[in-house]
Amino acid sequence: MLERTNILSVILLICFANIGYSHDFVPQDIKNLPTASFGQPTPQIDAPQGAGQITFDRHGNFWTLVSEGKNGNSLLYVLPAQNPTVWEQDSLSNLPEGKWRWVLADFFGYIWISDGRQLLRMSPHNPQNGWQEISADNAFPNDSITAMALSPSGLVMLAFQKGGIVELDQIRPNGSERHQNQISQIDSPANINQLQTDMDGNIWAKAGNKIYRKAAESNAWQKDWKRVASMPGGSHDLGGEVLDGVFYMDWAITGEYGYPSYDLIHSKLISFNPKNASWNIVADYGLPRGYCGVGILNGKIWTAGGASINENGERYNTAMTQVFDPETGEITKGPDLPLPLPSALALSSGGRLYILGFPEGEEATLKLYSIGSDETEWRIEPEGPSGIGSSYGTALNGKLYTVISHSCIAIFDPKTRTWETTEAPNSPRSPAVGHYNGEIWVMGGRNKEAENISYIYTPKSKTWRKGPNLPHNLIWGAAFNIDGELYVTGGCEGRGYSNATYKLRSSNKGAN
């Protein structure tokens, strides 16, 4: 099924709207294009016989094209996230028969396919709606497609036989209820047969036996961040902690998992290992868990509070604590919190594990509980400032830092068991909060400036300054520090739930 809609289009002939390049393609004295995986994982089972390149979407699915044989047609296969043991021929989207050459998942959830003339797009969230024929748009070049790749923005870009590279996006203009295609074009050599974006945001192209490079602008997000991995699927309202150089996190909640993608509160504990830049599912809680506090005590991973789903499919808030032992792989029950915390944050300091969050209901004072190595009950700590909503924060030099939504940063000193506050410049809600070089980084979130803005707090001087922008808008994500390196992962980027994991480039000490 093909959808041919009369969507208003915008064509930009000077530059990619989201990239901004000002230099021409420059010939390079090399034989092969550089490779860049963008942190894409590999499936756990072999691809079908005759399969081509494999692509991974943020819903957690793998895709590939398989040649049918005699007639030269290609079939679309999917390895769905909810059943990653068997490749299945896609029967849900009604892809027309064709000699399809490329299939590619962009960073924003769409699947794209082309045979060199047609370009089709499908959403794994609604495969029953079929494929939209983007090449039928009046603004689309009337030329043969010769190469297909991801742009530096994570969108699909195409090279054309007569020259020119096009980047494709879907936008909703201010005040409009309808989406429109945005087709942005830059000049390039003709007859490009290979196209690639590298980890620094440069575009590489091969035409015949010549290789060209188009440099990224000085303000490209790749100057500050590097995409290093992809979570098994995008999710939001995240938090966790590092143990022995590995970050552990509740997989939490998503609105787009599997194929067709659906809403889900995961029951899994996942981990990120920077040594091989990979995410892994390490344990199953035995029940759905989201909005949890995940922290470390006695070399074990503690998960406390948050929300779950009962047997009737009803969501409820919980005081439950579960403890995962990485050495044995076992999960045991821990002591319940004094009361349920709908959105909990776990932080460690001085050999104690702290859980904080607001109780269910209207605005209230921040609850704080702690537990030590040989204790069997949570200790009630002094309450923090009044607020409401989700909890985000980090621990640095023994102190606990947490964002009070649209109000301030609250700081708890476990030594004196006292709270203090400092005003946050952009009044954030639900940002990713981490530490780097002895400073607190507050990144993205709902705020009064922009959802990709970051601010850095210096505890010694009690001052703020702006930091580098995030690669894209981000709320409900997680930040963490492993061996002095700052990472950001997951959350919502405005169009859905991100599975991207980024690392701050080590040369960047923060904007002044």
pLDDT in tens, 159-170: 999 999 999 987
Q: Where are the domains of the chain?
A: 2-218, 225-504
Q: Does domain 225-504 have CATH number 3.40.50.10800?
A: no
Contact criterion met (CB below 8 Å) for 290 and 266: yes
* pLDDT of the residue at 12: 41
Distance CA 287, CA 265 (A): 9
Q: pLDDT digit string (tens) for 183-218?
A: 888 899 999 999 999 999 999 999 999 999 999 988
* pLDDT of the residue at 512: 44
Residue 29, burial from CB neighbour count under 10 angstroms (0-12, 13-18, 19+):
exposed
Judged by DSSP in three states, 223 sits in helix
Topology, domain 2-218: Thrombin, subunit H (2.40.10)
Residues 6+ apart with CB under 8 A from 313: none
Distance CA 61, CA 58 (A): 7
Distance CA 145, CA 193 (A): 9
Q: Is the pLDDT score of 5 beyond 50?
A: no
End-to-end CA distance of the chain: 53
Query: Residue 37 — very low, low, confident or very high, per pLDDT cuts 50/70/90?
Result: confident
Q: Is the pLDDT score of 11 beyond 70?
A: no
* pLDDT of the residue at 267: 97
* pLDDT of the residue at 177: 58
* pLDDT of the residue at 470: 97
The reply to whether 2-218 and 225-504 are identical in fold is no
Question: Which residues sit opposite 63 in a β-bridge?
Answer: 55, 78
Residue 412, burial from CB neighbour count under 10 angstroms (0-12, 13-18, 19+):
buried
Judged by DSSP in three states, 127 sits in helix
